[in-house]
A and B are shown apart, each in its own frame.
Chain A
Amino acid sequence: MALSNLSLDIHEGEFVTVVGPSGCGKSTLLNIIVGLLEVSSGEKRFRGEILRGINKEIGYVTQQDNLFPWRTVLGNVMFGLEMRAIGTSAERREKARALLDHVGLNGFHHHYRHELSGGMRQRVNIARTLVYDPKVILLDEPFGPLDAQTRLQLQDTLLKLWQERAGITIVFITHDLIEAIALADRVIVMTARPGRIREIVPVSLPRPRDIYTIHTDPAFRAIYDKVWAYLAEEMKHKSE
């Protein structure tokens, strides 16, 4: 069992990050939320209703970039629109183009996956999910394998996109505590496997935030120490 006794409410429009020892079932949690996995006991509600199967109002950005290698950048971003039959072919193209420009991929529309760097792939991956305007977006360590500078840039892009599109709910898994606190309204600390919620830490830093300097704020420091204390305890637990 990956998760047990886990109860979690996420509010509309909220940015929630999830941290926890590796293997504690963080990805399982997202797979359940989106509907790729079903709960073995208990229930999952979306806007008050019990749901089964894939929830098409949720977008999911996975750790591996998972672009369709046979489609160009533009083709990847248009995929969700095609599957959902949104707009005419010209409208879909226009929408995808606009979003790609927005995430800084102007000029790469006709490139294939193997022609892109890791950071570019993850930008396409995020654009592919944002393009059909899901109300909830799940991200599973989306910036994990990237270098520190690219991570910061992408965190900045994500935060701006979230602020522009008021009302989007984000659940974001990460290993990086700084990232978790800098982005979130609430940080959820999970226990070692089988995963439960150890603690939910509110992040009361003002928005809009400057992702490049926020970690120097003393209030940030205090939250960091708090989250780290919980997490360290769980990691010790796990190694015993």
Chain B
Amino acid sequence: MNRFAINGWRLLIALALLGLWEGLSGPIFDPFWLSRPSDVALFLWKSILSGQLISDLSITFQATAIGYVFGAILGLAFGLALAQSETVALVLKPFILAIYGIPRIALAPMFILWFGIALASKVMMAAMMTFMLVFFNTYEGVRTADLELRSVARVLGASRWRLFFYVTIPNASPWIIAGLRISIPQALVAAVVAEFIASTGGLGYRIMETTSGLNTAGTMAGIVVLMVVVMVLNGLLDRLEKKALRWRPKESDTKNV
């Protein structure tokens, strides 16, 4: 199938699903529970006109972005540092596995308790989520270093520091970039979950507020906005990742590997 046909089919399926939802809502089930696309669209349109959507988006975006930057910097720093020593890595292994096992979303109520209902708790949730994912990926990436390549670099004259910057980091870069990439939507989800629990604005707050007001069109609108934001972010990140890792063989191109 060519690109045009593929996109045509996609559009057709999307329209069919929306049509099905619209058609079933009313005759088959009560729109009270699941709303219907036309109501969701109307709600969205109104929120755009009133400026509420932009204001909610910017609140959630702010928390996500600040938290992400902090979490990513700390995750990188700790991941790179802890992976340096065999002994340290061996001693800390069970602790790291234990922390990795914590369902991170479950920390949200406690974060509200610690950091209040304002921006700080959302930033901290996003930061914690990002930190975990970036830290583990960086750590694993450095741990799986290619020993042969390190020997080669040493023979070619690399000092300890150069070895770190010219071999360790580029060698771990697919893992590091994967960590930085998967943590962006996760940071967003973390901020939204913190907003569910206690907040005064943002996408999570809006979803919570409309649900308690039994306004399912509003809830669905919030979910749709989240979905679109995550899809757009993923699409952008996909491109960035491909560009940064263009030295890696594509999966369809393995004949020489």
Measuring CB to CB, which residues of chain B are less than 8 angstroms from any residue of chain A? 148-149, 151-159, 162, 166-167, 170-171, 173, 246-249, 253, 256-257
Bound-complex Cα distance A124 to B154 (A): 18
Q: Within 8 Å CB of B157, what residues of A? A: 56, 80, 83-84, 132
Q: State A58–B246 Cα separation when bound (angstroms).
A: 32
Looking at the complex, which one of A64, A114, A115, A116 makes contact with B148 (CB distance below 8 Å)? A64
Is A71 an interface residue, CB under 8 A from the partner? Answer: yes
Contacting residues of chain A (30-44) with chain B, CB-CB under 8 angstroms:
34, 36
Report A48-104 residues with CB < 8 Å from chain B CB. Answer: 54, 56, 58-60, 62, 64, 66, 68-72, 79-80, 82-84
Query: What secondary structure prevails in chain B residues at the interface with A?
Result: helix
Q: Considering the complex, give the chain B residue whose CB is closest to the CB of A80.
A: B156
Do the beta carbons of A34 and B155 come within 8 Å of each other? Answer: yes
- Pairs A–B under 8 Å by Cβ, sample size 14: A36-B155, A66-B148, A68-B149, A68-B167, A70-B170, A79-B166, A80-B156, A83-B162, A83-B166, A112-B246, A113-B247, A114-B247, A114-B249, A118-B256
Interface size on A, residues (CB 8 A): 30
Given A62-B148, A114-B248, CB of A79 within 8 Å of CB of B171: no
A interface residues with partner B (beta carbon < 8 Å): 34, 36, 54, 56, 58-60, 62, 64, 66, 68-72, 79-80, 82-84, 112-118, 128-129, 132
| Min distance, Cβ A98 to any Cβ of chain B, angstroms | 19
Within 8 Å by CB of A114, from B153, B154, B257, lies B257
Query: Are B156 and A79 in touch, CB under 8 angstroms?
Result: yes
Contact of A62 among B152, B167, B257 (CB under 8 A): B152
For A132, the chain B residues whose CB sits under 8 A away are 156-157
**Chain A residue at smallest Cβ distance from B169:** A70
- A114 partner residues in chain B, CB cutoff 8 A: 247-249, 253, 256-257
- The answer to whether B155 touches A70 (Cβ under 8 A) is no
Distance of B148 from chain A, by nearest CB (Å): 6
Please name all residues of chain B whose beta carbon is closer than 8 Å to the beta carbon of A112 when the two chains form the complex. Answer: 246-247
**A36 CB contact (under 8 Å) in B154, B248, B256:** B154
Knowing A83-B153, A114-B256, say if A70 contacts B171 (CB, 8 Å).
yes
A34 to B152 alpha-carbon distance, docked (Å)? 11
